[in-house]
Structure 1
Amino acid sequence: MSPLPFPVRIAAGLVVTAVEQARELPRHAVELPVTAVSQALQVSMRLQQTVTELAIKGDRALGALRPGDDVPSWATFDDDLTEPALPDPEPVAAPASRNGAVSPLRPARSGIPIDRSARPAPAAPDRGPAAPGGPHAVPEYPGLSIPQLRGKLRTLGIDDLSDLLAWETSHENRPPYVTMLTNRIATLSREK
């Protein structure tokens, strides 16, 4: 038997393929919505990638024309954050407590600390010897960073915070530490 001409064989192959596709049509009809959504998502992702690549190339080109910031304005770190500073204290008459004693380190009701160093502070209860280099409440205080101190402040009362503030102002007097302690004392005073 001689082989059939090439175009006839191609036509027969097309007919067989059409019949196979017709048999698979119900299965393809069910898969069609999923396939369409999948292809649409692929096109969308390719478009987003292309746009992002163009933006990156544009940033590189424009970055050569103008100097960039060393630290982006949106980048913040715990060490950079400071709690809002209170205004400088003004001399104000301090209200006396029920027994007439005035604490030299407690803030006034306004939240602004008042310098009461002229009056002697009431005697603090003896808590035993302090660890060398630090106050009684938090012996490791001198080596703490701002974030570490922030984590410990929530467990301390006003008296302990006042001791820390007194120790800080008499030793290193670091403004961020003084501000944080003062603000925490004011917050606890308002909560009472």
Structure 2
Amino acid sequence: MKPLPLPLRVAAGLAMAAAERARELPRQLLGLPVTVLSRALQFSMRVQQQVTELAIKGDQALSSFRPVEETPSWATFDEDIEPQASTNGHRSDAVAARDPWEQEERALAEDHTEGEFDSTIDPEAVLGPVGLANYDELSLPQLRARLRRFSLEQLEELLAYERAHANRPSFVGMLTRRIGNVQRLGEGTADDGAQ
């Protein structure tokens, strides 16, 4: 048998391909919104990347014309703000109200009138914190990580040392809460958490 002419065979192939595409069309239509959304997001991300790259190049080009700020105006921390003193020499209630650690310490001091949270400690009587030679250099998270290993007496000594020296409200508040937790649980060394 002689083969059919090429144009006829190509036409039949096109018809078959069209029929196959027509059968797959409903399945492709279901995925069409996802495909369109995906491509739109890809395009949007590419545009954002290009804009960011241009901004970085622009910053580099313009940096030689602008002096570098020592401390940016937006970088103000609580430690940088000077406490306002009232007429009697104590911090004003507005500043104290902003410090939750100090409020908590006052509330605990009112609950414990036996003097265990008395902040009038003689600095000469404090020899230093037990087992922490570099205590003054520790950050709040570093101290929190070590609190579990201290007994109630050691915690009270740390609190007395902190109040007599740096008297940082966040440290005093954390130590005061930890002492309260240890007393509440009646443990010498507590493993319940360093709060």
TM normalised by structure 2 equals 0.48
TM normalised by structure 1 equals 0.49
Q: Which has the higher contact order (CA 8 A, sep 6+)?
A: 1
Which structure carries more helix by proportion? 2
For the pair shown, the structure with the greater C-alpha radius of gyration is 1
